[in-house]
């Protein structure tokens, strides 16, 4: 019997982490064949050539598609989606997949979904049904309305997908595949971070046994133009608390130039004497940092998702993760230096939280592969009400 | 005070009929300025150069954008959407609209919506919340998930939009703007059709005072490849009933070549002795035909929508209008020659139905303009549950 | 030793005929591997699905790329080229060819050439150095300025390529590969045409043993909008001479809609009582028609090229083949009904011409493969003066 | 009488400097109307938002078109050209220019040229006929084969254009419009550079009255991947000579990431104690630096062109300016540290050269406008031999 062909389109480092365990499970499943297209920031040097990492992990891309139009403005995000929509159909015709598996809520997810759905290829979607800020909120739910098989990560997300009029029998609560990686890393790695960490990245070193915070702040597309002020406020709050910090550069997205400018100016003003800066941290180091940090600050989804499983204290700033289901490890604050600063102090004092399986227990990838191997869908969708 | 700029993107003849009364109302509204982009099949000779008609109606396009990639396959529909997504952002930057108003559920609607939403321009959407077959079903609901202001045409559609998690205060039941045109035409025109009708189109003439049927059948994108058999069955059923017929060529969509081939072969087999064939019938003639016909046959939405207002007897075939709210004037049949033939006989016998305002009472355009003039929205959307 | 990979991009029926014998020779050459991409009108139903013919001939396309944007205006020709330029690089990265072989002077030729040259892949070009009307004139010479290996079809063309500043050692006079097919067909086929011819195409039949003319007239891109008048004049001249005619529909190009409209109106005016109309005639039938016809009329390059080898009397109208090297079998006339009519009369009276190897002797394909197997080029070009 | 509309497409900072004086002359000419589209790197923050500078200079862009696809590989250069070809036709239809004026030999030049030529809009081209390395060599001559009016900058270039088969009456030797700006700056500015220079850029300061070199080295597209080693060698040679240096970041082009990486690593190795680094230097400062520097090193065309007029001693490295007509102020060296180092020493010793009008005398812009105002061309081109 011929294997069912599952095509995954990976568009960024975060994308890859969110689907890697499912890719592995698909590749190893006797009834499935994995097809892979790598695109968007995942093929670019500037974002650390994730495609090379993917190949090192044993996956073979059918094609590498550059599709990011320079500018990182809302307009180029739309045009990049268009570029993806132009190229993916030709590649899908080459591959003739039985299912296209797409991840989350990025603009390349939209391109993948539209191309497949228009071509009458069933679409499977991970991480639908969640609630957040930015245009991702709309992309995610729109993708749900095109998708045929749903793999939500949390119970709240599952309920929302059903409310959106999707057939309950095609909505499978599997948890987030990123947690699979986290679980694996926590099993394999020693605790604590080492001095060698500072050999990569740029900026100052600080004693690794001292408490430090982790800053990961991304642009909010609907607040385009405010990024520089936002990151500066965070850096000031951390400085006020007198804590050492590890600072991550933002994702490629409309507005990331603003955040980057804020960080660069901070460094030029020489206010970074206890800060170290990283682009594209390997996930195992990142997970270890989340376990070791006194507090994760910013608006990264990892604080809420992986943070729940790891027990990381988190100060989540602003609207970007608005209404995402969260555990007790997260304190919410607005863009207000005083409130950010106070919340950091509280989290540092509280310390580590207990493990919470809100976003999965480490078996998402395997469950996804099992569903894909057996589920039959009607390519013609119909809302349930 | 500067006027609020409303940009309308028109992509097909059907699109134009569906938004024309709103365009006129926007143009005439003291607080609004109309901006216009014409694209997709509306700029093509092959589909009757709708753009020329638009100009004759007194509207001035800011740009004409060719975006249809030849092939009319599912893959080219995806690529055409991509092309639209590449060009529209540049034009939206030129125009800087306050709201983009988009129509219905076609692939150019998706391109317009994505471009505007990604660029943080509020999106207003007409004819959302309806239920139908084909990929349009998914496009329509996905557009709803991006749109900020909703103008559903029927009560059922309004309810569905709210269930999809949209804010009720931004959902305005206005009726369908096409009904505005229908109401106007019915007021202005004499009843009955004249011999001159046959001067356009191709094929045979028949006595205009005899009962005749109207055939309008379009491809179903999820049944790609079946179009030729489907139209042939319809033509056979009509021939069986011994009725004269007016046959319309299909819309530009994946699969329309199949339908066209079926019609061409029918003509080559010389089975069309009482049939006349039209491309791109002017809407006033079409409305008059709907009033005069003994029965409208096929899968056009006009039977269900305008048909309710006009009272046209309709035989609706197959899945394309699946679950669209409908009045008592419609009989549903599957692709089955016997059932199609019987349903035609019943409708011819029944004759005209009473008027039903299910899809509007003729004031949709004016209501849309009034809402657009005053409604304020938050560009950051959030699902209500 | 690994084989040298030669990638051919085929974009139309004419394209395919112009390169088929070289493709076969490459496929059979022990030192070469053939890679194939099929695109533009060659993948479309509307132009007879040349890709299916290509597969039937034993070639396997790596990808099929729809790239024609509807409209057939000069603007869509530019945009279609752009679409090709967006998709071809991804495919060239998949294939990693050692040489890209491109044909002639169409807009997809330009896309292929730019994609390869920008990517530092050596470009080989057939049919460069010729002189003609339309934008093809500029495309052809521009492609020469990007190409590394040149395969001109005639001595005049070879000389022109050298004058354009190309290195003489990379300019190989091989003849036109179309003549290879013609030679083969003339060897294999019986003379004369049969009644069965009329089973395909549309229109009237006429006795096959009577003299008939062959009409093949294409739009001139720089005379956009004049096509309808041009073809009508030709049809009138033929009617005036009282000759039966076989009429071919025009190529896909800016302006072909104009020519098509002219033909359709002629048919609607019922002036076609001795004319039969064809789309996409198989080349073997076409060659036989060229051998059998009393005169080929229009502006097709086949009259000048294949016509020289076959000895077909030709009346070439207008500027489209302007200055192409030609044999004594061609009479030149402007768009003037009287002159066209007189020239037809002269050619019909003259009858068949002697064979002239001006555009090749039937061995072009084999010579091309031999050069490609051994020629080394410097990817950095430099003009010779 | 209506003015003749001249549309200029500007795609980079260098592009703008090369056409600015002509744009001004067109704008001021009574018979001409200037139309402007800004695209490629000229609309990007990352390259200094040249579009803002253009607006400050009093020009109003009709549209801003992002068209650069991230990656800066040969493949993305091709795709970016494709993107330009998709968008420009829509804009040209909006503007309906009488002539499109395009500059030089970049990939956006190719897109502009193809879009205009395909659309039957006469193309005027500056800086054709020159000889250089990289793919620019092919682009430049290919553009010449599409262009209708030619504005070469040097006598050698004029002769080459005529040899390429262009009509001599449409080839106008006007000089390079960049020299117009240089002449103006030299008239207006004081000699010497000031301490304030170091307030922009990053890196070390050094005494401004000391001899310093200027380094401007760009990627060679046909040597993709070698950029890092090439710039490192140059930096080492300068260091060996013990000279202070001003270093410019490379242009956006395939391979510029390599050069940038080389510079960044040099700085991380702390070898830059007497070096200062600039992105996007205003042209007046740059011209002043060319007048003040002891030697310009690298492969920038400015050394050869503006250098001739200013009298700057130049060490030109490698193949990028291969065979460009040059004055006695230039010493050629290969990628060889010893030879680079020796040539620097010779130039520093020689000092300033006498002015040479090889690339123009400062009146190019005005001459271009005068020709455009009166020249009539046949849109159908034909090679002269």
Contacts of B73 in chain C (CB under 8 A): 66
Average pLDDT, chain D: 93
pLDDT(A240) > 70: yes
Residue among D64, D86, D93 minimizing CB distance to B93: D64
Residue C332 lies in a domain: yes
Contacts of D65 in chain B (CB under 8 A): 90
Pairing mode of beta strands D123-126, B202-203: unpaired
pLDDT category of residue A190 using cuts at 50, 70 and 90: low
- Inter-chain contact C86–A90, Cβ cutoff 8 Å? no
Could you give the CA distance from residue B99 to residue B105 in angstroms, rounded to a whole number?
18
pLDDT of residue D251: 78
Residues in chain B: 385
Q: D95: which residues sit within 8 A by CB, 6+ positions away? A: D5, D7, D35, D37, D62
Task: Give Cα A316 distance to the centre of its chain.
Answer: 15
Contacts of C323 in chain D (CB under 8 A): 382
**The pair of three-digit structure tokens given for residue B36, joined into one six-digit string:** 């216009």
pLDDT(C190) > 90: no
Q: List the single best residue of A83, A89, A93, A384 to mutate versus B (max B Cβ within 10 A).
A: A89
pLDDT of residue D192: 67
pLDDT category of residue C191 using cuts at 50, 70 and 90: low
Q: What is the pLDDT of residues B79-127, one digit of tens each?
A: 999 999 999 999 999 999 999 999 999 999 999 999 999 999 999 999 9
Within 10 angstroms of residue D334's Cβ, the number of other Cβ atoms is 9
Contacts of A39 in chain C (CB under 8 A): none
The whole-number average pLDDT for the span A281-295 is 91
CA triple B13-B15-B16, angle to 5 deg: 65
3-state DSSP assignment of residue D278: strand
Contacts of A87 in chain C (CB under 8 A): 86-87, 90
Our count of domains for chain B comes to: 2
Same domain for D194 and D130: no
The whole-number average pLDDT for the span D91-102 is 98
Which helix (H) or strand (E) covers residue C120, if one does? none
pLDDT of residue C293: 95
The whole-number average pLDDT for the span A114-128 is 97
CA triple C122-C128-C134, angle to 5 deg: 125
Interface list for C 58-87 with B (CB within 8 A) = 66-71, 73, 75-76, 79, 83
Among candidate residues A66, A28, A32, A33, the one with its CA nearest the CA of residue A49: A66
The torsion of the CA quartet D160, D163, D165, D166, rounded to 10 degrees, works out to: 40
What letters, b where the CB count within 10 A reaches 16 and e where it falls short, cover C121-146? bbbbbbbbbbbbbbbbbbbbbbbbbb
Q: What is the pLDDT of residues A14-61, one digit of tens each?
A: 899 899 999 999 999 999 999 999 999 999 988 889 999 999 999 999
C52 touching B, CB under 8 A? no
Residue D248 lies in a domain: yes
Contacts of C43 in chain B (CB under 8 A): 71
Nearest-CA distance from B8 to chain A in Å?
18
pLDDT(D62) > 90: yes
Indicate whether this model's pTM tops 0.80. Answer: yes
Same domain for B242 and B99: no
Residue B13 lies in a domain: yes
Between residues C133 and B279, the one the model is more confident about: B279
A215 bridge partner residues: A247, A297
pLDDT category of residue B192 using cuts at 50, 70 and 90: low
pLDDT of residue B191: 63
Residue A212 lies in a domain: yes
Residue among B62, B64, B86 minimizing CB distance to D87: B86
Cα–Cα distances (Å) from C281 to B278, C272, C286, C315, in that order, read 29, 19, 6, 20
Residue A188 lies in a domain: yes
What's the start-to-end Cα distance of chain B, in Å?
A: 38
Contacts of C90 in chain A (CB under 8 A): 63-66, 87, 90-91
Q: What is the pLDDT of residues B126-156, one digit of tens each?
A: 999 999 878 999 999 999 999 999 999 999 9
Same domain for B154 and B293: no
- Inter-chain contact B90–D65, Cβ cutoff 8 Å? yes
Among candidate residues A289, A285, A284, the one with its CA nearest the CA of residue A245: A289
Which helix (H) or strand (E) covers residue D385, if one does? none
pLDDT of residue C80: 97
Could you give the CA distance from residue A234 to residue A70 in angstroms, rounded to a whole number?
27
Could you give the CA distance from residue C133 to residue C4 in angstroms, rounded to a whole number?
36
Q: For a pLDDT cut of 70, what percent of chain A falls above it?
A: 99
pLDDT category of residue D191 using cuts at 50, 70 and 90: low
Could you give the CA distance from residue B7 to residue B65 in angstroms, rounded to a whole number?
15
B194 touching C, CB under 8 A? no
CA triple D327-D329-D330, angle to 5 deg: 85
Read off the DSSP letter of residue D69.
B
Residue C43: give its domain's CATH number: 3.40.50.2000
Residue among C62, C64, C86 minimizing CB distance to A87: C86
pLDDT(C253) > 80: no
Nearest-CA distance from B46 to chain C in Å?
8
Q: What is the pLDDT of residues D1-33, one digit of tens each?
A: 699 999 999 999 889 989 999 999 999 999 999
Q: Give the DSSP per-residue string, B95-129.
A: H--SEEEEETTSHHHHHHHHHHHHTT--EEEESTT
Q: What is the pLDDT of residues B338-382, one digit of tens each?
A: 999 999 999 999 999 999 999 999 999 999 999 999 999 999 999
Same domain for B305 and B156: no
Average the pLDDT over each of A196-210, D84-98, D187-201 and give the range with the smallest value: D187-201
Same domain for B354 and B220: yes
- Inter-chain contact A70–D73, Cβ cutoff 8 Å? no
pLDDT(B190) > 80: no
Residue A194 lies in a domain: yes
Interface list for D 103-132 with C (CB within 8 A) = 107, 110-111, 114-115, 117-120, 131
Cα–Cα distances (Å) from B100 to B5, B119, B278, B363, in that order, read 9, 11, 33, 21
Residue D385 lies in a domain: no
pLDDT(D221) > 80: no
pLDDT of residue A4: 98
pLDDT(D347) > 90: yes
Residue D304 lies in a domain: yes
Q: What is the pLDDT of residues C176-189, one digit of tens each?
A: 999 999 999 998 86
- Inter-chain contact A63–C93, Cβ cutoff 8 Å? yes
Same domain for A125 and A99: yes
Same domain for C259 and C126: no
What's the start-to-end Cα distance of chain C, in Å?
A: 38
The whole-number average pLDDT for the span B40-63 is 94
Residue among D67, D75, D257 minimizing CB distance to A66: D75
Could you give the CA distance from residue D289 to residue C22 in angstroms, rounded to a whole number?
56
Same domain for D98 and D73: yes
Task: Give Cα A133 distance to the centre of its chain.
Answer: 14
Residues in chain A: 385
The domain of B16 spans 4-174+363-374
Q: What is the pLDDT of residues C309-348, one digit of tens each?
A: 999 999 999 988 877 788 999 999 999 999 999 999 999 9
Q: List the single best residue of B109, B114, B147 to mutate versus A (max A Cβ within 10 A).
A: B114
- Inter-chain contact A81–B142, Cβ cutoff 8 Å? no
pLDDT category of residue B159 using cuts at 50, 70 and 90: very high
Contacts of C137 in chain D (CB under 8 A): 380-383
B361 touching D, CB under 8 A? no
Q: List the single best residue of B40, B85, B87 to mutate versus D (max D Cβ within 10 A).
A: B87
Are A230 and A262 in contact by the 8 Å Cβ rule? The answer is yes
pLDDT(B209) > 70: yes
Same domain for A115 and A230: no
Burial of A175 (0-12, 13-18, 19+ CB in 10 A): buried
Find the closest chain A residue to D44 by CA distance. A71
Same domain for B228 and B100: no
Q: What is the pLDDT of residues C63-114, one digit of tens each?
A: 999 999 999 789 999 999 999 999 999 999 999 999 999 999 999 999 999 9
Q: List the single best residue of B67, B76, B85 to mutate versus A (max A Cβ within 10 A).
A: B85
Pairing mode of beta strands C275-278, C202-203: antiparallel
Cα–Cα distances (Å) from B241 to B235, B282, C166, C355, in that order, read 10, 28, 72, 62
Residue among D85, D138, D254 minimizing CB distance to C381: D138
Chains C, D: CB contacts within 8 A come to 151
Which helix (H) or strand (E) covers residue B144, if one does? helix B136-146
Q: List the single best residue of C93, C138, C147, C226 to mutate versus D (max D Cβ within 10 A).
A: C138
3-state DSSP assignment of residue B367: helix
β strands within chain A, DSSP E = 4-10, 32-39, 63-65, 99-103, 123-126, 149-151, 202-203, 212-216, 244-248, 275-278, 295-298, 314-317, 330-333
Are C8 and C36 in contact by the 8 Å Cβ rule? The answer is yes
Same domain for C152 and C17: yes
Same domain for D231 and D160: no
**The pair of three-digit structure tokens given for residue C36, joined into one six-digit string:** 């194939």
Q: List the single best residue of A83, A87, A88, A118 to mutate versus C (max C Cβ within 10 A).
A: A87
Contacts of A71 in chain D (CB under 8 A): 43-45, 66, 68
Read off the DSSP letter of residue C362.
S
| Neighbors of chain C by Cβ distance (3+ pairs < 8 Å) | A, B, D
Average pLDDT, chain B: 93
């Amino acid at each position: 019997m011929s294997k069912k062909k599952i095509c995954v389109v990976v568009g960024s480092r975060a994308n890859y982490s969110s689907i890697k365990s499912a890719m592995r499970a698909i590749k190893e499943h006797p009834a499935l064949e994995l097809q892979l297209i790598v695109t968007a920031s995942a093929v670019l040097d500037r974002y650390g050539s994730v495609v090379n990492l993917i190949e090192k992990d044993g996956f073979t891309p059918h094609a590498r598609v550059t599709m990011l139009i320079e500018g990182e403005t809302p307009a180029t995000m739309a045009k990049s989606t268009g570029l993806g929509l132009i190229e993916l159909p030709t590649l899908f015709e080459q591959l003739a997949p039985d299912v296209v598996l797409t991840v989350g809520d990025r603009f390349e997810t939209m391109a993948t979904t539209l191309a497949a759905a228009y071509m009458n290829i069933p679409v499977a979607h991970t991480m639908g049904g969640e609630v957040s800020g930015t245009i991702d909120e709309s992309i995610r739910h729109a993708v749900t309305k095109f998708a045929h098989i749903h793999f939500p990560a949390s119970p709240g997300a599952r309920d929302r997908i059903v409310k959106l009029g999707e057939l309950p029998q095609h909505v499978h609560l599997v948890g987030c595949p990123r947690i699979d990686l986290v679980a694996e890393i926590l099993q394999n790695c020693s605790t604590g971070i080492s001095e060698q960490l500072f050999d990569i990245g740029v900026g100052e070193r600080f004693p690794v046994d001292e408490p430090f915070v982790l800053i990961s702040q991304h642009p909010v597309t609907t607040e385009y133009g405010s990024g520089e002020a936002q990151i500066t406020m965070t850096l000031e709050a951390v400085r006020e608390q007198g804590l050492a910090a590890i600072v991550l550069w933002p994702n490629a997205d409309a507005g990331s130039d603003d955040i980057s400018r804020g960080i660069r100016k901070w460094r030029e003003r020489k206010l970074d004497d206890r800060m170290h800066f990283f682009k594209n941290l390997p996930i195992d180091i990142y997970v270890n940092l989340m376990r070791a940090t006194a507090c994760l600050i910013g608006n990264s989804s990892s604080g809420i998702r992986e943070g729940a499983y790891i027990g990381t204290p988190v100060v989540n700033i602003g609207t970007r993760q608005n209404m995402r289901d969260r555990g007790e490890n997260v304190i919410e604050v607005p863009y207000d230096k005083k409130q950010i600063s106070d919340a950091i102090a509280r989290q540092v004092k509280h310390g580590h939280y207990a493990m919470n399986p809100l976003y999965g227990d480490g078996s998402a990838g395997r469950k996804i592969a099992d569903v894909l191997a057996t589920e039959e869908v009607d390519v013609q969708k119909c809302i349930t009400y």
